[in-house]
A and B are shown apart, each in its own frame.
Chain A
Amino acid sequence: MLPAPKVSKRRRGGRYSWWAPYVFIGPFVILFLIFTVYPLLYSVVMAMQYNDGPKSTAFVGLTNFKRVLTDPVFWRAMRNTFVFAAASIFIQLPCSLGLALLLNREDIKARGFWRLIFFSPVLVGLAFVAVMFGLIFEKNTGLLNVLLVDGTQWLHGLLPFIPVWDKEFPWLQEWVLTAIIIASFWMYVGFNMVYFLAALQSVSKELLEAAEVDGANAWHRFLNVTIPAIKPVAMFVVLLSFLGSMQLFELPYLLLGPGGGPQNEGLTVVMYLFEYGFNAGNLGYASAVGWILAVILFAFAMLQKVLAGKDGI
């Protein structure tokens, strides 16, 4: 048997030299180091400084972290953000799944049209949504209050025990979180529906038919066939929803202003961070808030990984 011919290093990998892969990934790595890693590490340093704008800094050690953790406004913002996240996960996602199940049925006419209708709100900008819902939620003349007053007045005529809606119902003053959840629901329910739709396409029809033959009703088929099949996508959507909710900023900021409305009812953690970092110029304090938020998000992601088990993402 003849020995294998010696192949030079140059020829072994084809036309390219050993350094070629590094050249190709180099631009990304350089940009990543400059615009992601360096700012991340520098923000750790900044979190231990007091700033009045970038030019005026003073080292304060862990004071910023202590200040964040003892500020009742921060905890109010954290509570608001978690409530919003919970509403996203436990109200919005089930509705998205419900819509997806409905629009996955082959007996629904013009499914493509309905999918577009439900998905399209996410295509408009958040600023537009905030302005629009600001008008919808206005007292006295806002669309929602006007419709509810007219509707309940008509019902009251038929069933006098039904009270007439208060035309001055203060959506943006006393029911702030509810208003934000409604606006966000309108905007994102179709977006999450698309993920679920894609997942439902991959559910095995043979399994569903077999389950039906075995006597499983629709609910049992949903619980025992559909849910396990879409679980990986569902866990991904839950994680995305949670991460997105924890970073909620534009909608309440534009709807309510920097303070988040009366008693900071609509203030979120990122609004709190923005206010201190970019309006007050205390970038150090904002960095500390950012790191605390990052730790919370990381902890949640790890918890979800554990709960999801090997089937999750």
Chain B
Amino acid sequence: MSAGPRFQPFEILSLGGWVILTLAVLSSLAIAVWPVKKVEGLELWTFAKNHGQLYQQLSVGYNEEARAEGREPVNVFVIDGAALTRRTLSGFWSGTPLADLIEVERNAMPGYVKGPIDDVGFIDLTDRLHGEEIAPGVSIYEGLNEPSFAPWSSRGRIFGLPHDVHPVMLVYRSDLVEAAGIDVTEIETWDDFVRVMGPLQTDLDGDGSTDRWLLDNWFTNYNNLESLILQAGGGTFDADDNLIVDSDANAMVLARMVSWCRGDTRISVDAPDFSASGNQLKLEGKVIAGIMPDWLAGIWKSDLPQLGGKVKLMPLPAWEPGGRRTSVKGGTMIGIPKATREKGGPERFEAAWEVAKHLYLSRELAREVFGSSCIISPVKAFWSEDFYHQPDPFFSGQQIGTRFLELAPSVPFRSSNTYHVFALGRIGQAMAKLYTEAEARGIDDLTQLEARAAELLAVEAEQVREEMSYNVFMQQDQAEAGQGGRVENGGGDE
């Protein structure tokens, strides 16, 4: 009797094939049986590492109390900004898992409020903000800096608690400025800034080319662009949601910014924040001044400690005598997705709302946030607290909290229109075109630049209008409401 057929594994698969098959089976089994740690309690997603560290610190005490009282504890997760936006959109559109509370960055917000107002993924907090009190007789809405709500509102409804105010000042190398005998109190306007600081713009190494420039700013810096056009009274949309891309103020700012970047009128250098190149230029003293919102002051302290004691802050030079001496840059809110209420009922929403108020409206958090990142709280009652008015050794002993707070009421309006980011991008494209044309044709005259900027902006404004005209839901909303969205008292439901 013959033996049965022998099993010849390498006739079925090669050695490599068996290795791959084994790895595939093992990894599948591992994924299937590996225990996944279940998160107990509420989840909070933030994109900012410093926020995350602070919230984790503050949540320790909060969670102990919460457990003792039978409430949900909170778990904080720091997720990269772009990834957080992707996950949030995915959750809103496709129902993938979402946190119970999500921090939202300024430029991400328009994408969340794009469709019909009832389809916005965050819970409408308008009634809560007007109905609940932060102090006796003072509603949460009244107790916070009102302009801080603007970026988080759409069509009369507010979708989050604002985190900040973000007034903007001018930071400058006080060691270099004072050594040159320059008195910054002589500076009221941007023209004064160029004239007074001019002697500091120089060739440091004698090679015939300028090494030290007056201002960290470039025609490609959209964040600075937004701050400067808002300061000038321009922007993307006004408070009534009218498109103002082609405003005279925008044209003026574009012309000035381009003139600062080229030719005989150049005063700017491209020294971007969060880049090795930009930081090196700052440390080497090759840029005298920059545009600084409160949050950037905190970043400089951690990223550029070598500049401690060498810098000071002053109000932004105005565009004209008597003009606005500040602007705004960036912003964060905390919102509660509708999914929180859908998966856990009204109790889960209430628990999340309590966490949001604890984190954003507490004196303890305001003190910690200012201490770690120099960010001013939007809660007006805290503005007189001592911790905002201490001398800061990094800024040569200046009370930077006091200085930022003095400017807080003058912070300009920020649009919450869903096409804000798109429109800002079009303004940026107009500036890039203006720069290219000025370089190619050697245009130095400001009047000519401004006229050409106005033409380019008119074209971009038409692009924005055309883009908006395709939005059938916006057309329907506007037809029903009679006008575009703006921040209003009342309205909305949860």
Contacts and interface: CB of A to CB of B under 8 A. Distances in A.
Contact of A50 (B86, B92, B472): B472
Interface in A22-61: 50, 52-56, 58, 60
Contacts of B276: 135, 138, 141
A67 interface: yes
B119 A55 contact: yes
Nearest to B422: A280
B280 A54 contact: no
Interface stretch (B148-156, B230-238, B301-309, B427-435): B427-435
B473 A56 contact: yes
A278 B89 contact: yes
B10 to A, nearest CB: 22
A140 B272 CA distance: 12
Interface in A45-95: 50, 52-56, 58, 60, 63, 67, 72
Contact of A56 (B115, B277, B280, B470): B115
Interface in B252-272: 269-270
Contact of B470 (A67, A168, A173, A281): A67
A279 interface: yes
A281 B93 contact: yes
B275 A52 contact: no
B17 to A, nearest CB: 18
A52 B425 contact: no
A259 interface: yes
Contact of A173 (B89, B220, B277, B425): B220
B211 to A, nearest CB: 9
Interface in A268-288: 278-281
B473 A52 contact: yes
B93 A138 contact: no
B436 interface: yes
Interface string B266-296: 0001100001110011000000000000000
Contacts of A60: 470, 472
B280 A262 contact: no
B28 interface: no
Given A138-B276, A262-B429, A263-B433, A52 B115 contact: yes
Please indicate which of the listed interface residues B119, B280, B470 has the most CB atoms of chain A within 10 Å of its own CB.
B470
B277 A142 contact: yes
Nearest to B111: A279
Nearest to B219: A262
Interface residues of B, number: 32
Interface string B451-476: 00000000000010000001111000
B89 A58 contact: no
Contact of A63 (B115, B116, B470): B470
Interface string A247-266: 00000000000010111100
Interface in B407-432: 425, 428-429, 432
A281 B432 contact: no
Interface in B99-144: 111, 114-116, 119
A56 B89 contact: no
Contacts of A135: 276
Contacts of B8: none
A279 B85 CA distance: 9
A207 B66 CA distance: 85
A138 B472 contact: no
Given A53-B89, A135-B276, A281 B114 contact: yes
Given A139-B270, A140-B280, A281-B111, A52 B429 contact: no
A138 B275 contact: yes
B470 A52 contact: no
Contact of A53 (B93, B219, B281, B428): B93
B429 A264 contact: yes
Contacts of B270: 139-140, 168, 170, 173
B14 interface: no
A50 B470 contact: yes
A139 B115 CA distance: 40
Nearest to A58: B472
A140 B287 CA distance: 13
B114 A52 contact: yes
Interface string A131-172: 000010011111000000000000000000000000010100
Nearest to B92: A53
Nearest to A139: B270
A91 B202 CA distance: 42
B171 to A, nearest CB: 20
Given A63-B470, A138-B275, A56 B116 contact: yes
Contacts of A259: 425, 428-429
B2 interface: no
A72 B35 CA distance: 52
Nearest to A279: B111
B143 to A, nearest CB: 33
A140 B473 contact: no
B472 A263 contact: no
A181 B92 CA distance: 37
B436 A263 contact: yes
B412 to A, nearest CB: 24
A90 to B, nearest CB: 26
Nearest to A56: B115
A281 B119 CA distance: 13
Contacts of B275: 138
B94 interface: yes
B393 to A, nearest CB: 29
Contacts of B93: 53-55, 281
Contacts of A281: 89, 93, 111, 114-115
A211 to B, nearest CB: 40
A67 B463 CA distance: 12
Contacts of B463: 72
B115 A53 contact: yes
B277 A140 contact: yes
Nearest to B429: A263
Contacts of A279: 89, 111
Contacts of A261: 220
Nearest to B418: A52
A167 B62 CA distance: 53
A271 to B, nearest CB: 13
7 contacts: A55-B115, A140-B270, A141-B277, A141-B281, A142-B277, A263-B433, A279-B111
Interface of B: 86, 89, 92-94, 111, 114-116, 119, 218-220, 269-270, 275-277, 280-281, 425, 428-429, 432-433, 435-436, 463, 470-473
**A-B CB proximity, top 6 nearest:** A52-B115, A262-B432, A53-B93, A56-B115, A141-B277, A138-B277
Given A173-B218, A279-B111, 10 more contacts: A52-B116, A53-B114, A168-B269, A170-B270, A173-B270, A262-B219, A262-B435, A278-B89, A280-B114, A281-B114
